Structures are given as structure tokens and as C-alpha cells.
Amino acid sequence: MKSGTSFFNPGLAKSLVKRFWPLMLTYQAVLLLSLPLQISSLTGQSWYAERLNYEILRLASEGVVYSALAALLIAMAMFSHLYNKRDCGLINSLPLRRETTWLTACLTGLLPLLLCPVLTWLLSLLLFAGNAHISAVALGTWLQCILLANLAFYGMAVFCAMLTGNILAVPALFLVLNLVAYGLEEIVRGILDRVVYGYSAGTMLFSWLSPLMYMLSNVKASDGLDGLDGPVFSSQVAFAELKGLPALTGYAIAGAVLLLLSLLLYRRRPMETAGDVLAVKPLRPIFRYGASLCAALLLPCVFVDAMDNRLAGLPMTLVLIALMLLGAAVGYYLAEMLLQKSFRVFRCRAWGILALWGALACLTLAWEFDLFGYERRIPAPEEIAQVLIPSDWHSSGNDDPEAIALYRQLHQRILDNKAHNEQRADKSNGRYIYLSYKLKDGSQLQRIYYVDSSKAWVDAGQSELPLAQQISQLDSSRRLANTPEVPITAQSILRCNADVACLDPNLPEDVGVSYEQTWISADQAWELYETCILPDMADSSLGTVWVYQDDSYYSLSSNITLSYLLTDPQRQDDAGVYREYFSITVTMDAKRTLAWLEENKGITAVPCGQIYSPTDVEYY
């Protein structure tokens, strides 16, 4: 009679559990400490009563790290026979098919990663069954998050275990899989920032290829009370939500796919590779040149940061290229030593490293000499839909043709001053100018420039700052700068305060300024805005935005700043209620506003030049 094929061996599973049960039990203990015990310690504190669901979901986001560590250690334990020639020979002498061995080890490791969270969840449901502030939905979301993370990381860990014959290489490969895309993108952005004038990185494009980093950044708990303060929000009811579950589901599916690929690798794996750093021979060239590329990019960042910006332009680029070439060689031969298990690797022919050297040098020089046209590109007027006001704090889009023309003129002046801004002797006197175009095709063009803001350079008439100031003080720019996203109405004002700067003789001479805060009720704040601020904006300089503080700033601006806290009950953000702060510096020619403040609050304005001393070195 023909015997059936078995895909799971209970004896082997029992042996694995006997050997590694302390590891599984430790993971169960960590989950119990992180959820039921920690939440139990908060239930008796009244301040946490409305935040318990949020705390549960916050623990779920933290549990991602525990999942990664547990999945890695359990995968290393289940497939530990692959890293010792004796154990490898012993398990292959058993009358078991490779599929049976792999599936038994895989399922034996996966079971505690699924069972431990379920047991913790059941215990938490029983423990908090009578607590009205703890939702079963929040506990279920915690379970969903941990199970998805466990499956994702276990698939990655088992896949890494199949690639190597050295147990120490498994965590190294696991970290590479989870971190390298994020790290390399950050490094490349840092290098481009040194080489390309005005480079603006924008959002990360490839961070999703580093699962652990992406989860830590995007799997987050949000709470209706988080970030709110003051008596205004005392009646707000908290809600809790876990962000990033769709991405976590995607990673779990990827983990399942990697488990299937791991089975294919295990079936064809040469068992004599136990002890080798890389067990899959076709991947060895990728390992060599991957290590070479990573070292080529990493070495310049380490040394250039230590140089404290003493070089710029072409000299900086040449130093970067030299460090890249050195790093590429170091990475290549270190990888070769690991593969060959020998230090005698320098006689081997390495034509590939020469090709990599050439590619790195040519690509870096191409960016330096702007062969891609990135630096010199200024959009044509007919391409531009809006430009963003070039002040440090404001980002409203302006479609005024006069603003667009001045904006392009400002951009061109910055490019004309490239040599000066890069090579200026005193790099302590500088500031950033952010340029952003919204184009009619829906795209954006962004640049960031660090320009000379020394008083001597600005007064000489060559600086970019006067043009930026001119753009910010156009009527169209002033209207945008003083139009908050939440319209100011009697209903939208939550509160207002006037901050008054004054000289304080009791403070040290190098500080010397203190601030007095006067609260203004919502009704008074609306009266002040409707009857004084709006008319003063129309016929005075109230609402002027200064990109830098010249003599007119110190004479025209007062020592009073009004701050409105606005809310829109029809909208919500991550904190549960949409709110916006709107601030305006009162000017000395805003007669109605100054008169109202003095009559109703006893506040007398003085020019800020009497409070703050302008610097003789730099414009801020």
C-alpha cells in the first residue's frame, strides 16, 4: 500500500518547541506587560479615563518593534540547523522531504506569533469587560495590528534566514531589508544637497521599501484630546484611531509572499553552504556591488559633516568623489572577504569596481555642472499658476502677475549670486529662502537656498532679500498673509491674547526683554477685528510681512502681537477638532487698533526699535 505524503512532522515540531519554549514564553510575557498590565495601571487615574483607548492603540504602534524583534529571533531559532554543518547534516539524514522540514519549522515558529497576541487579547477583554472607557474595538484593533506586523516581519525574517548560512548574518540581512532603502535615500539626498545648488528633497519617495522605518513613521495612534489645552477644550470627547493599518496589511501580504519564496529557496538550497555568509550563489554579485555602493555613499556623509561646511562648489564635489571612490573600494573588498572567508582578495580582478567608480564620478560631476538642468530651471510665466510668498512662515499661493514676475526675478538673482552664496567667507551670516511654484499642469517646483544675509551685503544692493521683501509687501501678498484658512467670524473665535514685549531691568543685559500677556474675550476679539483691524489693514501698513528686519521694520512695527485662536466645527484633523492660530503684529500707524487696545486693555504701544536692538552684522 502506498504511503501518503506528510507536510508536517509532529516529532520535529515537538523537538523545536522543547528547545525554544523560553523564547516563546518571553514574547508572551512582553505582550502581557505591554497591554493588560500597563493599561491596568492607568485605569485608576482619572486623567486617563478618556484616553484609555488611545493608550491601547499607542501600545499597538509601539508593539511593531516587539513584533520585529520576536519574529527575527523565532525565525533564527526555527532554522538554526542551517548554520551548523553538523545540525544541517543531522536533519537532512531524517526521512523527511525538504518541504516537510521547512513547513514544520515555519509553522512551529509562526504559531506563537499568532497565538500569543490572541491570548493577550482574550485576557484583556476579560480584564476590562466592566470598564466603560475601554472599547472592544480598540482592543480588536490592537490585535489586528500585532498579528499583521508579526506576519510581515516573520516572512521577512524567514526569507533572510534562507539567504545565508551564518546565523550572525541573519539579523544583518533583516536590518538591511528593513532599513537600507530609507537610509540610502537619506544619504543620496544629503549628497545632492551638497552638490546641487537649491536642491529641495521634498517627501521621501522610497521609504515604503524599508518596512520597519515606514511602520514606525506611519502606524500611529491619534486622540481627540492630543495636543489640545486650556479650558476651551475641556468638554471635548476623545476618540481614538490607529493610522497606517492599510499599509500594515500590505506588508503582511508581502510577508506571506516572502514565505512562499523562502520555501522555493529552501528546496534548492545547497546544504553544504552552512557557515557561508551568503548561501545563494547567484546573489553574490549583488552582495558585492550592493555593499560597494552603500559604502561609497556612506563614507562621504561621515567625513563631509565633520568638515563643518568649509568647502562648497566644485572643490566640495571633488572631495565627495574621492571619498566615494575610496568607499566603493572598501565596501567591495570587505564584501569579498566575507564571501571568500579570507583576507587574500586583493589580487582578484575587479572590473566591476572600475565601472562603478566611473558611474559614480560621472553622475556626481553631471549634477555639479547641472547637465540635467535642475539648477538653472526657472518656469516660464505661462507655466506658473501660483507662487508661494517667500517668507519663513507663510505659504499661501499668489497668482498676481506682478508677484509672479518679481518671483522669477528673485529666482534669477539667487542663481546669479550662486558663487557668492557658496563661497562667502563668513558662513554664519545667512538664512534660507524657500521658493515654490505651483504649475498649471498640477506639479510643483521647489527650491531651497541658503543666502548671505549680512548687513554689508544687503546694503550693497546685491542681495536677494530686498526683492523677497518687495514680493511679500505687495497688496496681493498682504491680503493672502492676513487671510487665515478658517474665516474670522464671531463664531470661529475661541480666544485671543495680546503679547506685549517690554524691557525688564531685572533680566540679564543680553536678554533684557520680557513678555506680558493680556487675554481678550471672544466677543471683544471679534469687535476688535471687525471695527479696527480690518479698516486699519485697508488704510495703513497693518498686516505688513517683513522678510527681513530693516530700519523701516524697527520704526514701523510695535511691541504688540495679537494672536487669534480659531476653530471650524465643520472640519476635523488628527486631533479631532480643526483649529488655527492667526497672528498679526500691530504697526504704529494702525490708529484704530492702537486706540482700542489702550482704551479697553490699557496697552500702550511703542516702536519695537525701543525694545529690540538691531544687529550691526546681519539682517534677520
Q: Could you report the per-residue pLDDT of 341-354, keeping only the tens digit for each?
A: 787 777 766 788 88
CB neighbour burial string for 267-298, b if at least 16 within 10 angstroms, e if fewer: eebebebbbbbbbbeeebeebbbbbbbbbbbb
Q: Residue 361 — very low, low, confident or very high, per pLDDT cuts 50/70/90?
A: very high
> Which pLDDT does position 228 carry in this prediction?
39
Q: What angle do CA 177, 181, 182 make, to 5 degrees?
A: 115
Cβ–Cβ contacts within 10 Å for residue 437, how many?
Answer: 24
Cα gap 351→327, rounded to integer Å: 16
Residue type, 508: P
User: Which run of H or E residues covers position 183?
Assistant: helix 169-195
Average pLDDT over residues 175-187: 91
Is the predicted pLDDT of residue 220 greater than 80, yes or no? yes
> Which pLDDT does position 306 carry in this prediction?
65
Q: Residue 618 — very low, low, confident or very high, per pLDDT cuts 50/70/90?
A: low
Lowest mean pLDDT among 108-117, 118-127, 481-490: 481-490
Cα gap 243→514, rounded to integer Å: 41
> Which pLDDT does position 608 carry in this prediction?
85
Q: By the 8 A CB rule, do 582 and 418 touch? A: no
> Which pLDDT does position 50 carry in this prediction?
64
Tens digit of each residue's pLDDT (9 = 90 or more) over 365-383:
999 999 999 999 999 999 9
Average pLDDT over residues 233-243: 54
Say what the alpha-carbon torsion angle 22, 24, 28, 29 is, to the nearest 10 degrees. Answer: 20
Cα gap 186→201, rounded to integer Å: 9
Q: What is the DSSP letter of 400?
A: -
Average pLDDT over residues 215-231: 64
> Which pLDDT does position 227 carry in this prediction?
40
Lowest mean pLDDT among 24-38, 86-100, 228-242: 228-242
Is the predicted pLDDT of residue 387 greater than 80, yes or no? yes
Average pLDDT over residues 168-196: 91
> Which pLDDT does position 238 carry in this prediction?
46
Q: What is the DSSP letter of 401?
A: H
Cβ–Cβ contacts within 10 Å for residue 225, how many?
Answer: 20
Domain boundaries along the sequence of the chain: 18-185+206-224+235-279, 285-368, 381-478, 484-610
Is the predicted pLDDT of residue 225 greater than 50, yes or no? no
> Which pLDDT does position 118 carry in this prediction?
96
Lowest mean pLDDT among 1-15, 59-73, 265-279, 375-389: 1-15
Average pLDDT over residues 311-335: 88
Cα gap 481→472, rounded to integer Å: 8
Average pLDDT over residues 84-88: 75
Could you give the percent of the chain with pLDDT greater than 70? 87
> Which pLDDT does position 251 carry in this prediction?
96
> Which pLDDT does position 236 carry in this prediction?
35
Distance between terminal CA atoms of the chain? 91
Comparing CA positions, the residue from 78, 73, 70 lying closest to residue 15 is 78
Lowest mean pLDDT among 344-348, 513-517, 536-540: 344-348
> Which pLDDT does position 63 carry in this prediction?
92
Q: Which residues contact 29 (CB under 8 A, 6 or more apart)?
A: none
How high does pLDDT run on average in the chain? 85
Cα gap 510→426, rounded to integer Å: 23
Is the predicted pLDDT of residue 193 greater than 80, yes or no? yes
> Which pLDDT does position 232 carry in this prediction?
32
> Which pLDDT does position 231 carry in this prediction?
32
Is the predicted pLDDT of residue 48 greater than 90, yes or no? no
Cell of 204: 521621501
Average pLDDT over residues 310-335: 87
Average pLDDT over residues 164-176: 91
Is the predicted pLDDT of residue 68 greater than 90, yes or no? yes
Average pLDDT over residues 385-401: 75
Q: From edge to edge, which strands make up the β-sheet containing 578-587?
A: 513-520, 493-503, 557-568, 578-587
> Phi-psi category of 335—alpha, beta or left, where left has phi over 0 and alpha has psi -120 to 50?
alpha
Comparing CA positions, the residue from 79, 144, 140 lying closest to residue 114 is 144
Could you give the percent of the chain with pLDDT greater than 90? 43
> Which pLDDT does position 505 carry in this prediction?
67
E strands present in 453-553: 493-503, 513-520
Is the predicted pLDDT of residue 4 greater than 60, yes or no? no
The backbone torsions φ and ψ at residue 40, rounded to the nearest 5 degrees and listed phi first, read -60, -35
Q: By the 8 A CB rule, do 221 and 60 touch? A: yes
Q: Residue 23 — very low, low, confident or very high, per pLDDT cuts 50/70/90?
A: very high
> Which pLDDT does position 397 carry in this prediction?
83
